[in-house]
Copies of this chain bind each other. A is one copy, B any other.
Amino acid sequence: MTLLEAAAALRRREVSSAELTAAALHRIERLNPSTNAMQTVMAEAARERAKLADEELARGEGRGPLHGIPIAVKDLFYTKGVRTTGGSKLFESHVPDHDATVVEWLRGGGAVLVGKTGMHELAYGITSSNPHFGAVRNPWDRDRIPGGSSGGSGAAVAAGMVAMAMGSDTGGSIRVPAAYCGVVGLKPTYGRVSRYGAMPLAFSLDHMGPLTRSVRDAGAVLNVIGGYDPRDETSSRRAAENYVPDLAPSLRGVRIGLPENFYFERLDPDVDAAVRAAFHSAEARGAEIVPLPVPEIAAINTVARLILMAEASALHERHLEQRDLFGADVLALLDQGRLLPATDYINAQRLRRGMQREFARLWKRVDCLFTPTTPITAPRIGETAATICGLDEDVRLATTRLVRAINALGLPAVSIPCGADRRGLPVGLQIVGPPFAEALILRVAQALVPAEVPVPRL
């Protein structure tokens, strides 16, 4: 069941929050040993909260579509009284004394938090093969990564443990696991969703957003978690513009950009075919496809990577003497980031502003862009190189090369399931829009996504 289906069933009294929660906990119990999607299960607290939700619903005190629905959040969102590790040994025993804004608002909307999802160490990577808490495994093939860094959230939603799990995205960390796990992942516009109480990785690139099984669900969650928050100094006043669902199946009048450069180079042929089919599908629903060149994405990726490395190292510098508390990949990245000169960082931020201005001109010609989310489908755990079109490419670079630039640009983007490869592994379609155009990209996504998103046999 999707979140909104569950909400409808609750409203019709066909099911209770207690039952939904028990089912979620049961599924976690059954599937967590093989997927490791949940880092912490909050069974008792969830049951209590579900009971309260049922009482409120019985009294007619509805709090909206999330009321009584079991959800999970990535283990970097502060949860009052519940351990929040950020996937790191550094915070192994860290128990926050307050909730992140997103958690507070989700709870305010009546959601039942059943657990914290596993993640890449410090959110600094895309495999979610965590050296401290174990690798998260892809429900479609447990020898494969779920993507990351919000791998646990992707796996939990794909495995049907919860209908929604919150993730964070600094260089693709919501969209990549959405693509590799075959679910919907929304990275909202920078400034739309509060980061207060979410462990940061890179101040100017971090975004928070939901992973769900339907596009409508992503919109419903955005309505709850979006909004201005004075506790987050990057929160935008425009964050208060709610996502207003307009899910007409027709795409008449929508101009969809088909990038002529970068995005369709070096793709797995199955990914290429699946994404091209999405263009046809959009055209059949009345959209206009506009082939056009996009600004230099490779350069934006370089700038985004430099900014990420410098900001992440600035943040964790003070912990770097405790070298044995880090995994090898994260430690190497943090060490490298310390060698970057301030002048490069400042010039990268300047270039980034220029690229944002350049990209802004694109939206005069099209309403959104379609691209593949990743050039490949989920690699095997431990695999460091992927062979694409006969050439080897570092798995981390390949996985992030189509998503990373969007973080530097701060644009909203959603990854939706878009067919499967020859092995049956999910392919992701990325839809990118102008700032604060979540309503538009979700409308387009909804028109394209199949009525039933395929689920892995578990």
- Alpha-carbon distance A353/B203, docked complex (angstroms): 13
Q: State how many angstroms separate the Cβ of A229 from the closest Cβ of chain B.
A: 16
The interface on chain A, measured as residues whose beta carbon lies within 8 A of the other chain's beta carbons, has a size of: 20
Assess the A311–B233 pair: CB atoms within 8 A.
no
Confirm or deny: A342 has a beta carbon within 8 angstroms of a beta carbon on chain B.
Answer: yes
Confirm or deny: A61 has a beta carbon within 8 angstroms of a beta carbon on chain B.
Answer: no
B contact residues around A342 at 8 Å (CB): 310, 313-314, 337, 340-342, 344-345
- Alpha-carbon distance A339/B314, docked complex (angstroms): 16
* A contact residues vs B (CB 8 Å cutoff): 203, 233, 310-311, 313-314, 317, 337-347, 350, 353
B contact residues around A310 at 8 Å (CB): 342-343, 346
Q: State how many angstroms separate the Cβ of A231 from the closest Cβ of chain B.
A: 12
- Alpha-carbon distance A317/B350, docked complex (angstroms): 14
Can you list 21 pairs linking A and B with CB atoms under 8 Å apart? A203-B346, A310-B342, A310-B346, A311-B346, A313-B342, A314-B342, A314-B343, A314-B344, A314-B346, A314-B347, A317-B343, A337-B342, A337-B343, A338-B341, A338-B343, A339-B341, A340-B341, A340-B343, A341-B342, A345-B345, A345-B346
* Contacts A311-B346, A339-B341 known; 16 new A-B pairs at CB < 8 A: A203-B350, A310-B343, A310-B346, A313-B342, A313-B343, A314-B342, A314-B343, A314-B346, A314-B347, A317-B343, A337-B343, A338-B341, A340-B343, A341-B342, A345-B345, A345-B346
Assess the B347–A317 pair: CB atoms within 8 A.
yes
Number of copies: 2
Q: State how many angstroms separate the Cβ of A81 from the closest Cβ of chain B.
A: 27
Q: State how many angstroms separate the Cβ of A320 from the closest Cβ of chain B.
A: 10
- Alpha-carbon distance A332/B22, docked complex (angstroms): 68
Which of A317, A338, A343, A345 has the most chain B CB atoms inside 10 A of its CB? Answer: A343
- Alpha-carbon distance A353/B204, docked complex (angstroms): 14
- Alpha-carbon distance A343/B202, docked complex (angstroms): 11
B contact residues around A338 at 8 Å (CB): 341, 343
B contact residues around A337 at 8 Å (CB): 342-343
- Alpha-carbon distance A338/B344, docked complex (angstroms): 9
Q: Which 7 A-B pairs have the closest CB atoms?
A: A310-B342, A342-B345, A314-B346, A314-B343, A340-B342, A342-B342, A313-B343
Q: State how many angstroms separate the Cβ of A166 from the closest Cβ of chain B.
A: 25
Which of A338, A340, A342, A347 has the most chain B CB atoms inside 10 A of its CB? Answer: A342
Which of A203, A340, A346 has the most chain B CB atoms inside 10 A of its CB? Answer: A346
Which of A313, A344, A345 has the most chain B CB atoms inside 10 A of its CB? Answer: A345
B contact residues around A347 at 8 Å (CB): 314, 317
B contact residues around A313 at 8 Å (CB): 342-343
B contact residues around A314 at 8 Å (CB): 342-344, 346-347, 350
Assess the A233–B353 pair: CB atoms within 8 A.
yes
- Alpha-carbon distance A345/B338, docked complex (angstroms): 11
B contact residues around A233 at 8 Å (CB): 353
B contact residues around A350 at 8 Å (CB): 203, 314
Closest to A343 in B: B314
B contact residues around A345 at 8 Å (CB): 342, 345-346
Q: State how many angstroms separate the Cβ of A337 from the closest Cβ of chain B.
A: 7
B contact residues around A341 at 8 Å (CB): 338-342
B contact residues around A344 at 8 Å (CB): 314, 342
B contact residues around A203 at 8 Å (CB): 346, 350
Closest to A340 in B: B342
- Alpha-carbon distance A344/B342, docked complex (angstroms): 7
- Alpha-carbon distance A310/B340, docked complex (angstroms): 12
Q: State how many angstroms separate the Cβ of A156 from the closest Cβ of chain B.
A: 33
Q: State how many angstroms separate the Cβ of A308 from the closest Cβ of chain B.
A: 11
Closest to A309 in B: B342
- Alpha-carbon distance A345/B233, docked complex (angstroms): 19
Closest to A339 in B: B341
B contact residues around A353 at 8 Å (CB): 233
Q: State how many angstroms separate the Cβ of A357 from the closest Cβ of chain B.
A: 9
